[in-house]
């Protein structure tokens, strides 16, 4: 987080009005190469083979981010990364994003500009050529970012989570557990004496310089490995947004198989969320592409979704309804 930049200073969204705010935001966003970009009622985006994938995700202040711990750029980056990762998990290349922001009236415009900068930085780093092609602004008591992402399949069939076959290799690409370790440190060291998220405590504790905290704020999903997996013949794939164990359970149930882990992973790597890596299955004779590495094998469906050393692994992870009670929001 840039200590020299105060996004909370300057005119507010209520003072400038929608048109002026839109102008200041759109000038900072990546446009990509749509057939028709922002400015009309809809954008027009090419789908070369007549098909595309689409996904949507929200980030809400409280359960998904805290201003005490994240800068506006962090929030924009994370909102982009989480949606780009979902597109990649289908084997598609991200082609466009649509963003809706709902902000309290007293929000400084610089905060929205910072979010736009975060989107630009994330797209440039993770999915060059993708653009922000439209969106909407509204007001709300709770700051909310909603993103819809589109992806180009490149003439390939989408990779579903339901296609794993007995004998397939189970592989992951990306990091496991770093974002969860970063969040744990923020909850430990980035709080005041009442346990509320606190910027001063975060700085004083040194958490700002922790690379795991940085990964919590700005995940780096392996976007290019999604299309690579599709080309390499991946039979099933999904984004590891909620934790390896819970997402492996989703893939196992969708494919009606059991996944057997062959590697020793700690509890944070198994159950921590928000790394946004990719979990995929490949034919046994396939060469694993990109950053994918083998972690297990697909077995016939048994009583458990996920096994390790013959014992069931609880398929638990991040659940916003179960894991967040509104405290410190």
Question: What is the mean pLDDT of the segment spanning 26-35?
Answer: 64
CA distance linking residue 79 with residue 82, whole number of Å: 6
Q: Strand 277-282's sheet: what is its strand order? A: 236-240, 277-282, 169-173, 293-300, 257-261, 306-308, 311-312
Evaluate if residue 61 carries a pLDDT over 70.
yes
pLDDT at 33: 60
Split at pLDDT 50, 70, 90, the class of 138 is: very high
Evaluate if residue 41 carries a pLDDT over 60.
no
In the chain, the largest separation of any two C-alpha atoms, in whole Å, equals 62
pLDDT at 19: 63
Evaluate if residue 326 carries a pLDDT over 50.
no
CB-facing half-sphere around the CA of 249: CA atoms within 13 A: 16
Evaluate if residue 208 carries a pLDDT over 60.
yes
pLDDT at 6: 67
In tens, the pLDDT along 93-104 reads 999 999 999 999
In tens, the pLDDT along 159-173 reads 999 999 999 999 999
Pick from 292, 278, 257: which is nearest to 164 by CA? 257
Question: What is the mean pLDDT of the segment spanning 81-103?
Answer: 94
Cβ atoms of 324 and 183 closer than 8 Å? no
Question: What is the mean pLDDT of the segment spanning 234-256?
Answer: 95
**Whole-number average pLDDT of the chain:** 88
Pick from 80, 73, 35, 42: which is nearest to 59 by CA? 80
pLDDT at 243: 93
List, as residue ranges, the binding site for ATP: 135-136, 161, 241
**Pairing mode, strands 52-60 and 257-261:** unpaired
CB-facing half-sphere around the CA of 217: CA atoms within 13 A: 22
What CATH number was assigned to the domain covering residues 169-175+220-316? Answer: 3.90.650.10
For residues 62 and 1, which has the higher predicted lDDT (pLDDT)?
62
Of the listed ranges 30-39, 78-87, 175-184, 314-323, the one predicted with least confidence: 30-39
Evaluate if residue 67 carries a pLDDT over 50.
yes
Pick from 82, 138, 4, 88: which is nearest to 290 by CA? 88
Split at pLDDT 50, 70, 90, the class of 320 is: low
For residues 50 and 111, which has the higher predicted lDDT (pLDDT)?
111
- HEC sequence for the chain: CCCCCCCCCCCEHHHHCHHHHHHHHHCCCCCCCCCECECECCCECCCCCCCEEEEEEEEEECCCECCCCCCHHHHHHHHHHHHHHHHHCCCCEEEEEEEEEEECCCCEHHHHHHHHHHHHHHHHHHCCCCEEEEEEEEECCCCEEEEEEEEECCCCCCCCCCCCCCCCEEEEECCCCHHHHHHHHHHHHCECCCCCECHHHHHHHCHHHCHHHHHHHCCCCCCCHHHHHHHCCCCEEEEECCCHHHHHHHHHHHHCEEEEECCCCCHHHHHCCCCCEEEEEECCCCCCCCCCEEEEEEEECCCCCEEECCEECCCCCCCHHHHCCCCCC
Split at pLDDT 50, 70, 90, the class of 329 is: very low
Residues ≥6 apart with Cβ < 8 Å to 253: 305
Q: Where does the chain hold its CATH 3.30.1330.10 domain(s)?
A: 13-152
pLDDT at 126: 97
Split at pLDDT 50, 70, 90, the class of 327 is: very low
List, as residue ranges, the binding site for Mg(2+): 41, 55-57, 86, 136, 239, 242
One of 3.90.79.10, 3.30.950.10, 3.30.930.10, 3.30.1330.10 is the CATH number of 13-152, namely 3.30.1330.10
CA distance linking residue 236 with residue 160, whole number of Å: 5
pLDDT at 265: 93
Split at pLDDT 50, 70, 90, the class of 22 is: low
- Rg value, the chain, Cα: 20
Q: Where does the chain hold its CATH 3.90.650.10 domain(s)?
A: 169-175+220-316
List, as residue ranges, the binding site: 41, 55-57, 64, 86, 135-136, 161, 239, 241-242, 274, 318
- The partner residues of 147 in beta bridges, in order of sequence, read 57, 99
The percent of residues above 90 in pLDDT, for the chain, comes to: 71
Phi, psi of 246 (to 5 degrees): -70, -40
Question: What is the mean pLDDT of the segment spanning 240-265?
Answer: 95
Question: What is the mean pLDDT of the segment spanning 222-232?
Answer: 98
Evaluate if residue 21 carries a pLDDT over 90.
no
List, as residue ranges, the binding site for substrate: 64, 274, 318
For residues 11 and 174, which has the higher predicted lDDT (pLDDT)?
174
């Amino acid at each position: 987080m840039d200590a020299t930049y105060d996004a909370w200073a300057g005119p507010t969204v209520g003072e400038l009005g929608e048109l002026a705010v839109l102008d200041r935001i759109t000038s900072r966003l990546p446009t990509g190469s749509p057939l028709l970009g922002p400015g009309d009622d809809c954008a027009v985006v090419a789908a070369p083979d007549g098909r595309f994938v689409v996904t949507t995700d929200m980030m809400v202040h409280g359960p998904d981010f805290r201003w005490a711990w994240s800068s506006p750029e962090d929030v924009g980056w994370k909102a982009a990364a989480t949606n780009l990762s979902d597109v990649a998990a289908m084997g598609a290349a991200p082609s466009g994003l649509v963003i809706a922001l709902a902000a309290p009236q007293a929000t400084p415009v610089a905060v929205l500009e910072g979010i736009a900068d975060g989107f630009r930085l994330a797209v440039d780093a993770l999915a060059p050529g993708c653009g922000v092609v439209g969106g909407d602004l509204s007001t709300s008591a709770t700051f909310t970012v909603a993103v819809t992402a589109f992806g180009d399949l490149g003439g390939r069939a989408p990779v579903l989570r339901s296609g794993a076959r007995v004998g397939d290799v189970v592989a992951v690409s990306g990091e496991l557990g770093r974002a969860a370790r970063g969040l744990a440190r923020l909850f430990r060291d980035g709080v005041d004496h009442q346990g509320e998220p606190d910027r001063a405590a975060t700085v004083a504790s040194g958490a700002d310089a922790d690379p795991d905290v940085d990964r919590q704020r700005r995940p780096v999903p392996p976007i290019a490995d999604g299309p690579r997996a599709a080309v390499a013949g991946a039979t099933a794939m999904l984004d590891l947004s909620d934790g390896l164990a819970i997402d492996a359970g989703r893939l196992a149930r969708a494919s009606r198989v059991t996944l057997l882990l062959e590697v020793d992973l700690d509890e944070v790597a198994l159950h921590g969320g928000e790394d946004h890596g990719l979990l995929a299955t490949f034919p046994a004779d396939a060469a694993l592409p990109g950053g994918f590495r083998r972690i297990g094998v697909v077995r016939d469906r048994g009583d458990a979704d996920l096994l390790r050393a013959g014992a069931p692994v609880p398929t638990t992870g991040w659940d916003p309804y179960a894991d967040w009670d509104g405290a410190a929001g």
